[in-house]
Protein backbone atom coordinates (compact mmCIF):
# COMPACT_ATOMS: atom_id res chain seq x y z
CA UNK A 1 0.00 0.00 0.00
CA UNK A 2 1.25 3.49 -0.82
CA UNK A 3 2.69 5.31 2.21
CA UNK A 4 0.51 8.37 1.64
CA UNK A 5 -2.62 6.20 1.59
CA UNK A 6 -1.58 4.79 4.97
CA UNK A 7 -1.10 8.32 6.35
CA UNK A 8 -4.52 9.36 5.05
CA UNK A 9 -6.16 6.24 6.47
CA UNK A 10 -4.62 6.86 9.91
CA UNK A 11 -5.71 10.53 9.96
CA UNK A 12 -9.25 9.85 8.70
CA UNK A 13 -11.57 10.71 11.57
CA UNK A 14 -14.89 10.34 9.75
CA UNK A 15 -16.20 7.73 12.18
CA UNK A 16 -13.90 8.45 15.12
CA UNK A 17 -13.93 12.13 16.08
CA UNK A 18 -10.64 13.25 17.69
CA UNK A 19 -12.48 15.24 20.36
CA UNK A 20 -14.74 13.07 22.52
CA UNK A 21 -16.33 16.23 23.96
CA UNK A 22 -16.73 17.78 20.47
CA UNK A 23 -15.08 20.96 21.77
CA UNK A 24 -12.75 21.30 18.79
CA UNK A 25 -12.31 20.18 15.20
CA UNK A 26 -9.13 18.79 13.65
CA UNK A 27 -9.11 18.32 9.87
CA UNK A 28 -6.30 17.39 7.53
CA UNK A 29 -5.44 17.71 3.87
CA UNK A 30 -2.73 15.81 2.08
CA UNK A 31 -1.27 17.26 -1.11
CA UNK A 32 1.62 15.12 -2.28
CA UNK A 33 4.05 14.93 0.64
CA UNK A 34 2.63 18.07 2.25
CA UNK A 35 0.28 17.57 5.18
CA UNK A 36 -1.81 20.44 6.53
CA UNK A 37 -3.54 20.07 9.90
CA UNK A 38 -6.34 22.54 10.70
CA UNK A 39 -7.48 22.95 14.31
CA UNK A 40 -10.50 25.09 15.19
CA UNK A 41 -12.59 25.79 18.26
CA UNK A 42 -15.11 28.38 19.50
CA UNK A 43 -13.96 30.97 22.04
CA UNK A 44 -16.03 33.18 24.34
CA UNK A 45 -14.44 36.30 25.82
CA UNK A 46 -15.53 39.53 27.45
CA UNK A 47 -12.65 41.94 26.99
CA UNK A 48 -9.45 42.51 25.06
CA UNK A 49 -7.45 41.81 28.22
CA UNK A 50 -9.21 38.47 28.69
CA UNK A 51 -8.67 37.60 25.05
CA UNK A 52 -4.89 38.02 25.27
CA UNK A 53 -4.74 35.56 28.18
CA UNK A 54 -6.97 33.09 26.34
CA UNK A 55 -4.90 33.30 23.14
CA UNK A 56 -1.81 32.01 24.97
CA UNK A 57 -3.81 29.11 26.39
CA UNK A 58 -5.40 28.38 22.99
CA UNK A 59 -2.02 28.37 21.23
CA UNK A 60 -0.63 25.95 23.81
CA UNK A 61 -3.69 23.68 23.67
CA UNK A 62 -3.80 23.54 19.87
CA UNK A 63 -0.07 22.83 19.75
CA UNK A 64 -0.42 19.98 22.27
CA UNK A 65 -3.32 18.43 20.35
CA UNK A 66 -1.52 18.65 16.99
CA UNK A 67 1.71 17.29 18.50
CA UNK A 68 -0.25 14.39 20.01
CA UNK A 69 -1.83 13.61 16.63
CA UNK A 70 1.60 13.65 14.97
CA UNK A 71 3.03 11.35 17.64
CA UNK A 72 0.17 8.89 17.15
CA UNK A 73 0.58 9.17 13.38
CA UNK A 74 4.25 8.20 13.61
CA UNK A 75 3.63 5.20 15.87
CA UNK A 76 0.59 3.96 13.90
CA UNK A 77 2.51 4.36 10.62
CA UNK A 78 5.41 2.34 12.01
CA UNK A 79 2.99 -0.47 12.96
CA UNK A 80 1.16 -0.50 9.62
CA UNK A 81 4.03 0.07 7.17
CA UNK A 82 7.06 -1.27 9.08
CA UNK A 83 8.81 1.99 8.14
CA UNK A 84 9.63 5.19 9.96
CA UNK A 85 7.73 8.33 9.01
CA UNK A 86 9.77 11.53 9.11
CA UNK A 87 7.87 14.75 9.70
CA UNK A 88 9.39 18.19 9.10
CA UNK A 89 7.45 21.16 10.47
CA UNK A 90 7.20 23.91 7.85
CA UNK A 91 5.45 26.33 10.21
CA UNK A 92 1.93 27.48 10.69
CA UNK A 93 -0.29 30.31 11.72
CA UNK A 94 -3.21 30.96 14.00
CA UNK A 95 -6.09 33.38 13.70
CA UNK A 96 -9.14 34.62 15.55
CA UNK A 97 -12.34 35.27 13.58
CA UNK A 98 -15.09 37.20 15.35
CA UNK A 99 -18.50 35.53 14.97
CA UNK A 100 -20.75 37.48 17.28
CA UNK A 101 -20.50 40.78 19.14
CA UNK A 102 -23.17 43.27 20.16
CA UNK A 103 -23.11 46.67 21.79
CA UNK A 104 -25.56 45.46 24.46
CA UNK A 105 -23.31 42.66 25.74
CA UNK A 106 -19.65 42.47 26.64
CA UNK A 107 -19.53 38.83 25.61
CA UNK A 108 -18.00 38.11 22.23
CA UNK A 109 -17.83 34.81 20.36
CA UNK A 110 -15.05 33.91 17.92
CA UNK A 111 -13.46 31.02 16.03
CA UNK A 112 -9.88 30.24 16.95
CA UNK A 113 -8.09 28.54 14.06
CA UNK A 114 -4.58 27.11 13.90
CA UNK A 115 -3.00 25.66 10.74
CA UNK A 116 0.26 23.70 10.65
CA UNK A 117 2.02 22.63 7.46
CA UNK A 118 4.31 19.59 7.54
CA UNK A 119 6.50 17.79 5.02
CA UNK A 120 6.32 13.97 5.14
CA UNK A 121 9.01 11.54 4.05
CA UNK A 122 9.77 7.86 4.60
59-112 tens-digit pLDDT: 999 999 999 999 999 999 899 888 899 999 999 999 999 888 777 777 889 999
pTM score: 0.84
The pLDDT, as a whole number, for residue 21 is 66
36 to each of 28, 39, 80, 116, how far by Cα in Å? 6, 10, 21, 6
Higher pLDDT, residue 26 or 17: 26
Do 119 and 88 meet the contact criterion of CB atoms below 8 Å apart?
yes
22-70 tens-digit pLDDT: 788 888 999 989 999 999 999 988 877 777 888 899 999 999 999 999 9
DSSP symbol at 118: E
Residue closest to 73 by CA, chosen among 22, 12, 24? 12
The pLDDT, as a whole number, for residue 32 is 87
Amino acid sequence: MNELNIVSQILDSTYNHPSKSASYSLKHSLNGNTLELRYSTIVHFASEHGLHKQMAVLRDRSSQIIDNVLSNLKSDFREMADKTLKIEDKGGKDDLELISATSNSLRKVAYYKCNRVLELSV
